């Protein structure tokens, strides 16, 4: 399998999986996509439906990585290591439970209590594999609105490969205390943490510039390779397909539906930020997994609910972000929209390129009505205020006996708004074939859960449910992160240039090539 840019790139510009994974962005500024999407036939789905998680992941990945790049045994080892049972605190990996008259899939039983572990762990282990194979010092640059960072640093410190290091950046004061502790208590010489005095995606540009700079030194030429692992990296959405397939299986099982039955589709509602998870779900659907509508639950922060506006009204308009109770999905530009647009337009690179050029130049893209209608065939979306999120969190706790994290609660509130009405169990006992995708454990969001449920509500949940491993994180000593300051009166671009230099300094002062290259 080869990869290409959503914007087409040059003619015959195809990349191996390794190249796509390392580069992050395509050289023309687009995002990597596989040159084709294989089909998963109904009988194949049936045969996969009873596989353990690591084997399902292996089978899905095998379709997207050529054996000449990674052989069967290596790929199996990577999947087994990434999804080792002892790292997960629920024997079913992703339990799919009844919630009211629908379902909820808990993707937060991994090491950092967030769905991002599922895509991140194998992506990091693949990078580690290639770093060793090429004897190439690789430094991962990450910017996080909360959960990407912990998943990445945990996986990097566990890989313990001197060739693989990471700097993770978070917006100062805009992640939860628990998330910060997850970053600042990691004790590994391969991990550095920095806080920047800006908004959610203000470190995206400095990182993107740095990644594009190292473009052509893929070969082991003694230089360091920088790599970005946020969900613009194709590794993330590819791997995130696996959990949608798994959730589909666990849901139809409970409904008594044969896996692969196209007459019975399952809708999924997910809290949405950069649309990386949505892209994973969409690729699974396009490959033949009977997923119905994919619905994005988006928070409203100030003006910002771009993901919602673009899916519903075709308006891809950049807005400044403000703090919310669900900060992990605060995002100015949900960049994976580009991949979704690529697939919706049936791989029309020139149209995607045109759309993205308008977006980049004017920060405003409005799709034509025909295209808006086309998006709405596969997607739906609702945006949710903090108040609405808190309201549904209270209903969940009081009537369904279920406490969700604030992001999952955004999806729950969105589902209600979209008409699923799953919180009021129907009198006929009818089950709605819809799954809420629970992306994080409430244990990460004490502040927000307390706003919704009050101190007593939080204490009550905590007493019975707080994971033991999370308790350990709270008690560990924090190491002060680097701080990238805001300069009063300077332009965002100037500040970002300064931050970029600070980032490069951290790399050269802390990750010395001679130590890494043996
Ligand atoms: C990252 C994140 C999301 C959003 O995922 P995207 O792929 O960015 O849309 C949702 N919920 C939580 C808790 C997250 O950390």
Residues 289-311, mean pLDDT to the nearest whole number: 83
- Mean pLDDT across the chain: 92
Residue 182 predicted with pLDDT over 70: yes
Q: What is the pLDDT of residue 102?
A: 97
Q: Which atom of ligand 1 is nearest to the CA of 271?
A: 10
> What's the pLDDT tens digit per position in 434-486?
999 999 999 999 999 999 999 999 999 999 999 999 999 999 999 999 999 99
The pLDDT value recorded for residue 216 is 54
> What order of strands is seen across the sheet that includes strand 266-271?
96-99, 102-106, 434-438, 266-271, 291-299, 379-384
CB 515 within 8 A of CB 162: yes
**Which residue from 400, 104, 419, 151 is spatially nearest to 266, judged by alpha carbons?**
104
Tell me which residue has its CA closest to atom 12 in ligand 1: 439
Q: What was the pLDDT predicted at 322?
A: 73
Atom of ligand 1 nearest to the CA of 280: 7
Give 394-403 pLDDT, tens digit per residue: 999 999 999 9
User: Can you give the pLDDT at residue 308?
Assistant: 76
When pLDDT is cut at 50, 70 and 90, the band that residue 516 belongs to is: low
**Ligand 1: distance of its center to the CA of 114 in Å?**
9
**Which protein residue's CA is at the shortest distance from atom 7 of ligand 1?**
276
Q: Using pLDDT thresholds of 50, 70 and 90, give the confidence band for residue 218.
A: very low
Over range 195-202, report the average pLDDT.
87
Q: What pTM, to 2 d.p., does this model score?
A: 0.94
Give 27-45 pLDDT, tens digit per residue. Answer: 999 999 999 999 999 999 9
Q: Quick check: 12 pLDDT over 90? A: no
pLDDT tens column, 327-347: 888 877 899 999 999 999 999
55-90 pLDDT, tens digit each: 999 999 999 999 999 999 999 999 999 999 999 998
Q: Which residues line ligand 1 (CB under 6 A)?
A: 114, 116, 146-147, 231, 271-278, 328-329, 407, 439-440
Residue having the nearest C-alpha atom to atom 14 of ligand 1:
328
> How far is ligand 1, taken at its centre, from the CA of residue 132, in Å?
30
Could you give the 3-state DSSP secondary structure of residue 267?
A: strand
- State phi, psi for 5 to the nearest 5 degrees: -85, 145
CA 81 to chain centre: 20
Tell me the pLDDT tens digit for each residue of 363-374.
889 999 999 999
Report CA(206)–ligand 1 centroid distance (Å).
22
- Ligand 1 atom nearest 240 alpha carbon: 7
């Amino acid at each position: 399998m080869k990869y290409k840019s959503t914007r087409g790139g040059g003619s015959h510009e195809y990349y191996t999986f390794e190249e796509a994974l390392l580069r992050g962005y395509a050289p023309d500024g687009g995002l990597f996509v596989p040159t084709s999407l294989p089909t998963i036939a109904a009988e194949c789905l049936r045969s996969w439906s009873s596989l353990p998680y690591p084997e399902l992941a292996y089978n899905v990945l095998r379709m997207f990585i050529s054996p000449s790049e990674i052989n069967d045994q290596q790929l199996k080892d990577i999947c087994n290591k990434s999804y080792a049972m002892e790292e997960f605190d629920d024997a079913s990996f992703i339990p799919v439970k009844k919630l009211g008259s629908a379902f909820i899939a808990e993707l937060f039983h991994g090491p950092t209590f967030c769905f991002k572990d599922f895509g991140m762990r194998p992506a990091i282990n693949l990078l580690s594999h290639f770093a060793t194979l090429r004897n190439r010092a690789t430094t991962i640059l990450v910017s996080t609105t909360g959960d990407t960072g912990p998943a990445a640093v945990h996986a990097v410190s566990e890989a313990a490969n001197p060739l693989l290091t990471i700097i993770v950046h978070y917006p100062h004061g805009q992640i939860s205390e628990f998330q910060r502790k997850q970053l600042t208590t990691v004790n590994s010489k391969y991990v550095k943490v920095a806080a920047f005095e800006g908004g959610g995606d203000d470190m995206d540009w400095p990182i993107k510039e740095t990644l594009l700079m190292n473009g052509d030194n893929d070969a082991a030429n003694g230089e360091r390779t920088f790599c970005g692992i946020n969900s613009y990296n194709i590794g993330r959405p590819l791997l995130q397909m696996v959990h949608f397939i798994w959730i589909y299986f666990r849901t139809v099982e409970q409904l008594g539906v044969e896996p692969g039955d196209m007459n019975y589709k399952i809708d999924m509602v997910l809290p949405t930020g950069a649309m990386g998870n949505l892209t994973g779900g969409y690729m699974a659907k396009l490959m033949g997994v009977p997923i119905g509508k994919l619905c994005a639950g988006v928070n409203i922060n100030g003006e910002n609910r771009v993901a919602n506006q673009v899916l519903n009204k075709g308006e891809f308009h950049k807005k400044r972000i403000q703090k919310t109770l669900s900060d992990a999905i605060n995002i100015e530009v949900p960049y994976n929209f580009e991949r979704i647009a690529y697939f919706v337009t049936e791989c029309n690179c020139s149209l995607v390129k045109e759309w993205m050029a308008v977006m980049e130049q004017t920060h405003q893209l409005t799709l034509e009505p025909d295209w808006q209608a086309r998006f709405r065939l596969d997607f739906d979306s609702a945006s949710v205020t903090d108040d609405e999120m808190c309201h549904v969190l209270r209903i969940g706790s009081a009537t369904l006996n279920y406490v969700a994290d604030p992001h999952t609660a955004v999806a729950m509130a969105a589902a209600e708004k979209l008409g699923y009405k799953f919180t009021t169990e129907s009198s006929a006992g009818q089950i709605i074939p819809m799954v809420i995708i629970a992306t994080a454990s409430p244990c990460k969001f004490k502040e927000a859960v307390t706003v919704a449920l009050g101190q007593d509500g939080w204490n009550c949940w905590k007493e019975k449910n707080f994971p033991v491993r999370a308790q350990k994180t709270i008690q560990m000593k924090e190491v002060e992160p680097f701080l990238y300051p805001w300069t009063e009166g300077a332009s965002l671009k100037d500040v970002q240039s300064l931050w970029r230099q600070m980032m490069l300094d951290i790399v050269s002062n802390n990750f010395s090539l001679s130590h890494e290259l043996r």
